[in-house]
């Protein structure tokens, strides 16, 4: 496994694109830079549009089951659809319809494309999402698979929970357990759609799904909201897979939980005065853990460990192969 | 130039995908297989979703200006956005918002990506369409560019004009001139959005944009509508570029007009009794030509030339490099 640091390019690119797009019309409530774009469509519906892609050799590899990042075609299809659904979940929305763009290397055979479609459908069906169109183009056998999902969702009466709404004093929660997803969860995670809806229903201030890793995604929220954050190391829900990796690579389980990408859990900021009630009334089997507090911007991102506060390093690891 | 025949794969693949998708919900008025998917959304709005992709080495090449298919990054961006807009136009719809998925080879430099975005925006702005989000992932310098556009449009009060509505006796019209687009029009065409809206306003029976070539796209309409067609060779609006190619490659200008892909003109079927009125009231500078008649299915696709009718060969050429 090669745990490559995400190059600055991707994030810089989004910032750069934003500067080039000019003024968006007023019905575009959220443009580039959040989990989804949000459009105030006719009659108070709020529509979500999300685009995500899976690149062979970057996000998955099909050739060697013994090596990290291996996925069957079915898992690859599942992953890219579930990633997009996770982004809709991170706004508190409901996924509805998907179209698929595929660049398919020639000669992969029918089982390969049937696997992709079966995985896409498995993720879609699990969340009442319908694949309603797409575009398949074949290219040289030397080229690699690109699978893009375009997802249409809506808010069905709720307001979208943005990255930019966190306020000083908010309690920070995370669903599930963190770290080590490369051992399997990165292709088998369940997008937290119901959970995201519930957070929208209790008027969470800010939300994001953990694709870049807790530290990187928390930074996204802090930047967008103009705040800092303090994470309590002892409270982090460290996954079993993070513990397994600790024994293998010498990076601590805590570091895996803080920085590994592709957990696809929800990171949520909620008004302090609601925090106890949220924990008491949480209706899901999914674990919910309060891991920290939103602080003033000047504090930056910090982590407390054994009573000692220090800056939280931002690693934003992604599972690039 | 290599004029490759489109492999059967792409069309077969769509048919195959349709068999795998299962039953779509009733609000999905049009699923895979037309120019766009159509959703009957809340309060009688009809929404269009379209996905299209451009693959380096298949649809454009960036390396050799002397060879066919060459495009600047700006032209490539323009092309993929304009292709999608053309599909919305072919339903009579209005393009509104776009998201972009990009697989970007490393090391292409800032001018390359700025060119792509500038071209995407030029096509979008020409049709009041806003780029509101997207996803950019980089991969190896050895990999190639994939640029996918996801377009959201709507019908704004009109009914979408499908491929499936052609009826025996309908007059067949085409906009613009046909053939030879590889000489430049394939990256510079103007999607016929206003014209498509107008055809929807006069209740055209069926419509498609010419991406696969007249013969192939007419076949799509005939198959979807369960009809045949008779094209009059003498009436075809043959482009100057088709005449130029005739001198170069020995294929007649008529054959280029019939089979060359990527003209992105509209092919429209209109009730016979409206045909004269349509020609009289046509409000656009774009040429409009009546080129034939929808016939019974048993007749198949035919062409009359010098008073002689014969089967129209289906070549469905595409500009694959």
DSSP structure string for A174-203? EES-BS-GGGTHHHHPPP-HHHHHHHHHTT
Q: Are residues B307 and B183 in the same domain?
A: yes
HSE (side-chain half, CA atoms, 13 Å) at B199: 34
CA distance B27 to B24: 8
- How does pLDDT run across B163-214, given as a tens digit for each residue? 999 999 999 999 999 999 999 999 999 999 999 999 999 999 999 999 999 9
HSE (side-chain half, CA atoms, 13 Å) at A129: 34
Mean pLDDT calculated for residue range A161-182 = 97
CB contact under 8 A, B133 and A32: yes
Say yes or no to pLDDT of B4 above 70.
Answer: no
Mean pLDDT calculated for residue range A111-133 = 95
Q: Which pLDDT score, from 0 to 100, does residue B79 have?
A: 96
Of the given ranges (A158-162, A284-288, B37-41, B243-247), which has the lowest mean pLDDT? B37-41
Q: Are residues B43 and B140 in the same domain?
A: yes
A37 in contact with B, Cβ within 8 Å: yes
Average pLDDT for chain B: 91
Q: Tokens 């992105």 belong to which residue? A: B264
CB atoms within 10 A of CB B29: 17
Q: Which pLDDT score, from 0 to 100, does residue B222 have?
A: 97
CA distance A115 to B254: 43
Strands in A228-232's sheet, in edge-to-edge order, are A206-209, A266-270, A171-175, A288-295, A228-232, A301-305, A308-311
Helix (H), strand (E) at residue A258: helix A253-259
Q: Which pLDDT score, from 0 to 100, does residue A9 have?
A: 47
- How does pLDDT run across B26-39, given as a tens digit for each residue? 999 998 888 899 99
Q: Which pLDDT score, from 0 to 100, does residue B78 have?
A: 97
Most A CBs within 10 Å, among B33, B51, B105, to test the A interface: B51
- Asked whether residue B187 is assigned to any structural domain, the reply reads yes
Strands in B228-232's sheet, in edge-to-edge order, are B206-209, B266-270, B171-175, B288-295, B228-232, B301-305, B308-311
- How many domains does chain B contain in total? 2
ipTM score for this prediction:
0.87
- Asked whether residue A105 is assigned to any structural domain, the reply reads yes
| Domain CATH code at residue A246 | 3.90.650.10
Q: Tokens 């929208």 belong to which residue? A: A200
Query: Which of B96, B131, B154 represents a domain boundary (last residue)?
Result: B154
Structural domain range at position B112: 8-154
- Asked whether residue B318 is assigned to any structural domain, the reply reads no
* Of B67 and A177, the one with more pLDDT: A177
To the nearest 10 degrees (0 to 180), the angle between helices B73-89 and B193-201 is: 0
Mean pLDDT calculated for residue range B249-259 = 95
Q: Are residues B220 and B238 in the same domain?
A: yes
Report how far apart, in Å, the C-alpha atoms of B208 and of each of A8, A50, B133 are: 43, 27, 28
Strands in B46-55's sheet, in edge-to-edge order, are B28-30, B37-40, B46-55, B146-154, B94-105, B130-139
Considering only alpha carbons, which residue of chain A is nearest residue B153? A41
Q: Are residues A173 and A76 in the same domain?
A: no
Say yes or no to pLDDT of A5 above 70.
Answer: no
Q: Are residues B262 and B296 in the same domain?
A: yes
Say yes or no to pLDDT of B68 above 90.
Answer: no
Query: What is the DSSP track for B30-45?
Result: E-BTBSSEEEE-GGG-
| Domain CATH code at residue B88 | 3.30.1330.10
- Asked whether residue B2 is assigned to any structural domain, the reply reads no
- How does pLDDT run across A10-63, given as a tens digit for each residue? 556 667 777 777 789 999 999 888 889 999 987 768 999 999 999 999 999 999
Say yes or no to pLDDT of A269 above 90.
Answer: yes
Q: Which pLDDT score, from 0 to 100, does residue A32 have?
A: 87
Say yes or no to pLDDT of B10 above 80.
Answer: no
Query: Which of B154, B187, B207 represents a domain boundary (last residue)?
Result: B154
CA distance B36 to B55: 20
Query: Which of A120, A154, A188 represents a domain boundary (last residue)?
Result: A154
Mean pLDDT calculated for residue range A134-163 = 94
- Asked whether residue B66 is assigned to any structural domain, the reply reads yes
B147 in contact with A, Cβ within 8 Å: no
- How does pLDDT run across A193-208, given as a tens digit for each residue? 999 999 999 999 999 9
Say yes or no to pLDDT of B98 above 50.
Answer: yes
What confidence tier does B116 reach under pLDDT thresholds 50, 70, 90?
very high
Q: Are residues B124 and B261 in the same domain?
A: no
Residue ranges of B 93-122 with Cβ closer than 8 A to chain A: 97, 99-103, 113-114, 117, 121
Q: Are residues B180 and B65 in the same domain?
A: no
Q: Are residues B250 and B271 in the same domain?
A: yes
Secondary structure tally for chain A: helices H, strands E:
9, 13
Query: What is the DSSP track for B254-317?
Result: HHHHHH------EEEEE-GGGHHHHHHH---SS-EEEEEEEE-GGG-EEEEETTEEEE-----B
Q: Which pLDDT score, from 0 to 100, does residue B21 have?
A: 78
Q: Are residues B146 and B273 in the same domain?
A: no
Handedness of CA A109, A112, A115, A116 (dihedral sign): negative
- How does pLDDT run across A104-113, given as a tens digit for each residue? 999 999 999 9
- Asked whether residue A1 is assigned to any structural domain, the reply reads no
Q: Which pLDDT score, from 0 to 100, does residue A7 have?
A: 40
Q: Are residues A186 and A108 in the same domain?
A: no
- Asked whether residue A2 is assigned to any structural domain, the reply reads no
User: What is the percent of chain B with per-residue pLDDT over 90, rounded to a whole number?
Assistant: 81
Q: Are residues B255 and B141 in the same domain?
A: no
DSSP code of residue B232 = E
Distance of residue B235 Cα from the nearest chain A Cα, in angstroms: 33
Contact B87, B152 (CB under 8 A): no
Q: Are residues A170 and A150 in the same domain?
A: no
Question: How many Cβ pairs closer than 8 A exist between chain A and B?
Answer: 182
- Asked whether residue B319 is assigned to any structural domain, the reply reads no
Report how far apart, in Å, the C-alpha atoms of B105 and of each of A9, B102, B136 are: 12, 9, 11
């Amino acid at each position: 496994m090669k745990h490559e640091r995400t190059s600055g390019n991707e994030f810089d690119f989004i910032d750069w694109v934003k500067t080039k797009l000019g003024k968006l019309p007023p019905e575009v409530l959220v443009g580039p830079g959040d989990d989804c774009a949000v459009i105030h469509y006719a009659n108070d519906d709020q529509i979500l549009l999300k685009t995500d892609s899976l690149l062979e050799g970057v996000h998955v590899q099909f050739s060697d089951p013994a090596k990290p990042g291996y996925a069957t075609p079915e898992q690859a299809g599942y992953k890219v659809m579930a990633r997009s659904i996770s982004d809709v979940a991170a706004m508190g929305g409901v996924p509805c319809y998907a179209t698929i763009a595929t660049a398919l290397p020639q000669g992969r055979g029918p089982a390969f494309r049937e696997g992709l479609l079966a995985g896409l459908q498995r993720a879609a069906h699990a969340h009442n999402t319908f694949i309603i169109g797409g575009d398949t183009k074949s290219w040289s056998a030397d080229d690699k698979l690109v699978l893009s999902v375009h997802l249409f969702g809506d808010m069905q009466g709720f307001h979208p929970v943005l990255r930019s709404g966190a306020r000083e004093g908010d309690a920070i929660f995370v669903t599930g357990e963190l770290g080590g997803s490369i051992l399997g969860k990165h292709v088998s995670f369940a997008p937290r759609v119901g959970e995201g809806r519930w957070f929208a229903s209790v008027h969470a201030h800010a939300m994001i799904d953990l694709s870049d890793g807790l530290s990187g995604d928390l930074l996204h929220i802090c930047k967008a909201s103009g705040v800092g954050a303090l994470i309590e190391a002892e409270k982090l829900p460290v996954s079993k897979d993070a513990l397994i990796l600790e024994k293998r690579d010498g990076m601590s389980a805590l570091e895996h939980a803080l920085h590994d990408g592709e957990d696809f859990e929800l990171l949520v900021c909620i008004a302090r005065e609601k925090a106890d009630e949220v924990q008491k009334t949480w209706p899901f089997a999914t674990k919910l853990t309060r891991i920290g507090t939103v602080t003033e911007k000047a504090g930056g991102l910090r982590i407390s460990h054994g009573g000692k506060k220090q800056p939280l390093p931002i690693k934003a690891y992604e599972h690039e192969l």
